[in-house]
């Protein structure tokens, strides 16, 4: 129990978590009723059953339904506040949160500026009241057109210095390779926004190569299938490209058959830069804390491995260098305090 207590109390950073995918079923029901939007379920318990995914297409269907329920700036501010309250409860002191404003724009015409202002109101509130910080990764849903991707790039560029730190790409990889959005990512990169696309989740190494070569990814969302290509593993290791690993998500979406079969230990053994993340927490019945607890138990991770994963997230973040260094120092000091408190050594 001492390692579990250490994990629960330690400071954390999360780099791969979707704002819309963090909506609690209770809140989704409230929003759907508020806007008279029918759901496949009318009770919270039934919504939990609906969240039991059958495949990736089912996941995208659920995600689109959620987006249709976000129709006003107030809705966006509500879900952002609730998300940040949950992050604070886990001692997640900083999050880089993927946000997909095109989905809400397409569903209800809600302007990007209004969505951003709502997120930033909640972000400012959380810094003052909860002492947690967040930044945004504005992402393209893969199913849209390249021209629509350029529109999203323009939105993201307009918000540099106003909460947005990176440009992302999410959704179904099948039939939507990274190359489809080369122009959007080039525009964002030239404006100063680094690329952090999803790749190598439901598709194999070619998707990750595309993210690296065409989108100039500085970090890869998921990337678990890199192990199918030794040359790709060597490139990721040599260039120290962080991977945002989401184990429970991979199990739920049938990327891997079980947690025991997850390649996390192999990724660590290959000396890749690995971070742990929750992806869409309520939808996968997980949290970042749960990811550490489950992986720690399943793979026999010791305190040193847990600390490494946590520090990888700090050092893979897009915070300014001075902020990143200060956060790293804070984490190391807190780790030492917690090891002493729970009578743990760095290797046990």
Secondary structure (DSSP) of 229-291? -HHHHHHHHHHT--EEE-HHHHHHTTSSS-STT-SHHHHHHTT--EEE--BSTGGGT--HHHH
Say whether 9 is catalytic. no
Q: What is the pairing mode between strands 243-245 and 274-276?
A: parallel
Domain range spanning residue 69?
A: 2-341
pLDDT at position 92? 98
347 lies in some domain: no
Q: What is the CATH number of the domain that holds 301?
A: 3.20.20.140
Would you say residue 348 lies in a domain?
Answer: no
CA separation for the pair 95, 87 (Å, rounded)? 8
The predicted model gives 114-137 an average pLDDT of 98
pLDDT surpassing 60 at residue 324: yes
Q: Is residue 226 one of the residues assigned to a domain?
A: yes
**DSSP secondary structure code for residue 70 in this structure:** -
Q: Return mean pLDDT, the chain.
A: 95
Based on its alpha-carbon atoms, the radius of gyration of the chain, rounded to whole angstroms, reads 19
Task: Report pLDDT for 322.
Answer: 98
Task: Report residue 348's pLDDT band, with 50, 70 and 90 as the boundaries.
Answer: very low
253-259 long-range contacts (CB < 8 A, ≥24 apart) are: 253/53, 253/55, 253/56, 253/59, 253/201, 253/202, 254/55, 254/56, 255/201, 255/202, 255/222, 255/224, 255/225, 256/224, 259/294, 259/295, 259/298
pLDDT single digits (tens) 69-106: 999 999 999 999 999 999 999 999 999 999 999 999 99
For residue 154, tell me if it sits in a domain: yes
Cβ neighbours around 343 below 10 Å, total = 8
Region 24-50: mean pLDDT is 88
Q: Do the beta carbons of residue 133 and residue 63 sit within 8 Å? A: no
Inside any domain, residue 346: no
Distance of CA 346 to the CA centre of its chain: 28
Candidate list 77, 86, 96, 201, residue with the active-site label: 201
> In the block, which residue shows the tokens 């995600």?
63
| pLDDT tens column, 9-19 | 999 999 999 99
- pLDDT over 80 at 56, yes or no: no
pLDDT band at 117 (very low <50, low <70, confident <90, very high): very high
How far is the C-alpha of 174 from the C-alpha of 286, rounded, in Å? 26
Percent of the chain predicted with pLDDT > 90: 86
CB 98 within 8 A of CB 17: yes
Its pTM stands at: 0.96
> Is 4 in a helix, a strand, or coil?
helix
* pLDDT per residue as tens digits for the range 271-322: 999 999 999 999 898 999 999 999 999 999 999 999 999 999 999 999 999 9
Which tokens belong to 230?
């030794």
Q: Collect all residues with Cβ–Cβ distance below 8 Å to 179 and sequence separation of at least 6.
A: 210, 214
HEC states along 147-167? HHHHHHHHHHHHCECCCEEEE
Q: Using CB atoms within 10 A of its CB, is residue 139 exposed (0-12), middle (13-18) or buried (19+)?
A: buried
Nearest one of 134, 116, 138, 135 to 126, comparing CA atoms: 134
According to DSSP, residue 335 is labeled H
On the question of pLDDT at 49 being above 90, the answer is no
pLDDT of residue 124: 98
Q: What is the pLDDT of residue 59?
A: 78
Q: What is the structure's pLDDT at 1?
A: 65
The partner residues of 134 in beta bridges, in order of sequence, read 95
CA angle 20, 242, 211 (to 5 degrees): 75
- Of 2 and 224, which is predicted with more confidence? 224
Q: Are 216 and 222 in contact (CB under 8 A)?
A: no
Report yes or no on 240 lying in a domain.
yes
Number of folded domains in the chain? 1
Distance between CA 336 and CA 1 in Å, rounded? 18
């Amino acid at each position: 129990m001492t390692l579990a207590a250490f994990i629960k109390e330690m400071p954390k950073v999360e780099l791969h978590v979707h704002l819309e995918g963090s909506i609690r079923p209770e809140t989704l029901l409230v929003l759907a009723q508020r806007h008279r939007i029918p759901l496949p379920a009318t009770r919270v318990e039934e919504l939990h059953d609906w969240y039991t995914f059958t495949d990736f297409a089912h996941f995208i269907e659920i995600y689109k339904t959620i987006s249709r329920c976000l129709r006003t700036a107030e809705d966006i501010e509500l879900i952002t506040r609730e998300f940040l309250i949950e992050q604070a409860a886990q001692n997640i002191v900083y999050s880089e949160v993927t946000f997909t404003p095109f989905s809400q724009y397409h569903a209800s015409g809600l302007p990007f500026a209004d969505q951003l202002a709502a997120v930033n109101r909640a972000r400012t509130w959380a810094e003052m009241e909860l002492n947690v910080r967040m930044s945004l990764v504005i992402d393209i849903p893969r199913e849209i057109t390249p021209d629509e991707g350029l529109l999203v790039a323009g939105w993201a560029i307009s918000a540099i210095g106003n909460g947005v730190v990176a440009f992302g790409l999410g959704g179904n990889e099948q039939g939507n390779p990274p190359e489809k959005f080369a122009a959007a990512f080039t525009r964002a990169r030239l404006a100063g926004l680094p690329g952090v696309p999803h790749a190598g989740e439901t598709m194999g190494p070619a998707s990750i190569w595309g993210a690296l070569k065409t989108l100039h990814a500085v970090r890869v969302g998921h990337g678990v299938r890199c192990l199918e290509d030794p040359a790709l593993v060597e490139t990721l290791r040599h260039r120290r490209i962080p991977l945002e690993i989401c184990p429970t998500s991979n199990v739920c979406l049938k990327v891997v058959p079980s947690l025991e079969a997850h390649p996390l230990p192999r990724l660590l053994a290959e000396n890749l830069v690995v971070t742990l993340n929750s992806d869409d927490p309520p939808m996968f019945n997980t949290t970042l804390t749960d990811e550490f607890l489950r992986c720690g138990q399943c793979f026999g991770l010791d305190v040193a491995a847990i600390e490494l994963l946590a520090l990888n997230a700090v050092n893979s973040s897009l915070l300014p260098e001075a902020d990143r260094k200060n956060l790293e120092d804070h984490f190391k000091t807190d780790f030492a305090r917690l090891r002493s408190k729970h009578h743990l050594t760095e290797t046990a």
